[in-house]
Amino acid sequence: MSDGAERRRAVVVGAGISGLACAHRLHRLRPDIEVVVLEASDRTGGKIHSTPFAGRLVDEAADAFLARVPAAVELARELGLADQFVTPAVRRAFVYRHGTLHPFPEGQVLGVPTDLDALRASGVISAAGVERAALDLTLPADMEGAPPPGEDESVGALVRRRLGDEVFDALVGPLLSGVNAGNADHLSVQTGAAQLAAAVRDQPSLIAGLRAQRTAALAAGADPDAPVFYGLHDGSQGLTDALAAALPVGSVRTGRSVVAVAPADGGGYNVVISASRPSGPAETGEVDLLHADSVVLATPAWASAEVLRALQPDIAVDLHDLEWSSVVMITLAVARRAIDHPLDGSGFLVAGNEPLAMTACSFSSTKWAHLAPAGDAAPGSAAATVLLRVSAGRHPDASALGLDDATLVGTIRDELAPIIGLDPAVDLGPDRARVTRWRRALPQYRPGHRARAQDWRDGLATAWPGLWLTGASYDGLGIPACITDAETTARRVADTIG
């Protein structure tokens, strides 16, 4: 029991990037508190996973994080990982539309073009589409369909209204739908594309607003040639591994599934724990209680809903109803001579109206210099093997998830053949193709999501002080967003516990 004479304890549920970052920051802020991290699976890291493939360490999910959002960069440096930083070797990327690869125009921000000459030169949309996009600079704020100031709307509604359908369908839609594995026509601007929301906060034009952001950043000393993304040489898992290693020995306990949280006599909470099987959270019958003065649920909303079902059923229902997309990552090791395309870019996105299973393809061996063939297998040699990472699955279509590995790999091979000139007879046996399925991987933020998420957190804080929610379900996707939210939560715990 915590009676004031004993050491306070905070329990963090979930050992993904959010849970580990929260635990790490809380331990640094309050070393007097015992921090315990409980993870249902047999490993830490959650959807961050780097494993050997074709002689190289290759990520099975996120392989980079935004450089302009400082949270991940600063945390990695704090953990001694600065010497692991790598940046994409190329910035050029493509979009597949109408059966052709088109280069993304220079100067785009989240797919929104800020350089209309570059947009025209790219050929990705028609001349009429470019002229329609240019109208954004003169259209009034109160045009039909515009929401009241400050009210959230979808990315599709904003971009289609300001720049027209072609810009959305060819550029913004493929990029943001790809990031979220969803449909940007239904994606909240405030949560899923906050930079666009900020661009139109003080004036109506998206293009002018994004140009103003860039001008302000340059005036503040930003380097226009600074990297957009960073990765880690040995894979993104290096970050979560370092976080787990930085906690006191015994702090992280895997194979422990939290099934409920209940108020404890005398204050605080009893965390109800069930032993898990190595392959998942199936109960073995062994149940334990762990007292905590504060509990942080750093699990996906659907998992947090199960924990809160008896304690706060109204919030649990809302968390359970949050929609999620499932995705598949297919990593291929392909003989360079079997591909006609020069692979002179980081990869390509697929427009949403293309009848393909895949949504994106990364030319990993070009994108990351450390993944390029070396020595006798250098690019251009007969022995060279290049890496491709292909994504499939977009909400609500989860059909790719149901295909067996051989069928899925064959489908992707057939789709890549006309796009990059892949030899349809290329060997893509088990040692040359890796399939990773991520079920319920990415939350789908609908307009108004941020306000709803704040209501969940406020409601929980009012009814059950010391019980917190953090993670990608609430305030944004990506490693930096998760770290930012987790560290904010850690500071609140540190300020209130005890």
* CATH hierarchy code of domain 105-219: 1.10.3110.10
Give 472-476's long-range contacts (Cβ < 8 A, gap of 24+): 472/18, 472/300, 472/442, 472/443, 473/300, 473/301, 473/304, 473/319, 473/322, 473/443, 474/301, 475/191, 475/450, 476/191, 476/192, 476/194
Supply the pLDDT for residue 4.
Answer: 44
Query: For 352-490, where are the E strands, in sequence order?
Result: 358-362, 385-392, 433-443, 467-469
Instruction: State pLDDT tens for residues 302-312.
Output: 999 999 999 99
Supply the pLDDT for residue 462.
Answer: 96
Instruction: State pLDDT tens for residues 238-290.
Output: 999 999 999 999 999 999 999 999 999 999 999 999 976 544 444 445 679 99
- Dist. CA 183–CA 174, nearest whole Å: 9
Supply the pLDDT for residue 287.
Answer: 76
Supply the pLDDT for residue 373.
Answer: 82
Q: Which helix (H) or strand (E) holds 481?
A: helix 479-496
| Residue linked to tokens 């204050």 | 267
Q: Are 79 and 483 in contact (CB under 8 A)?
A: no
Q: How many CB atoms lie within 10 A of CB 262?
A: 11
Q: Are 194 and 480 in contact (CB under 8 A)?
A: no
- Dist. CA 460–CA 451, nearest whole Å: 14
> 288: closest CA among 303, 301, 271, 300?
271
Q: Which helix (H) or strand (E) holds 243?
A: helix 237-246
Does domain 9-46+239-323+445-496 correspond to CATH entry 3.50.50.60?
yes
Supply the pLDDT for residue 3.
Answer: 42
Per-domain boundaries in the chain: 9-46+239-323+445-496, 105-219, 325-442
| Residue linked to tokens 């959270």 | 281
Q: Is pTM, for the whole model, over 0.75?
A: yes
Q: Which helix (H) or strand (E) holds 52?
A: strand 50-53
Does domain 325-442 correspond to CATH entry 3.90.660.20?
yes
**Residue stretches of the chain with pLDDT short of 70:** 1-5, 276-286, 374-383
Supply the pLDDT for residue 352.
Answer: 84
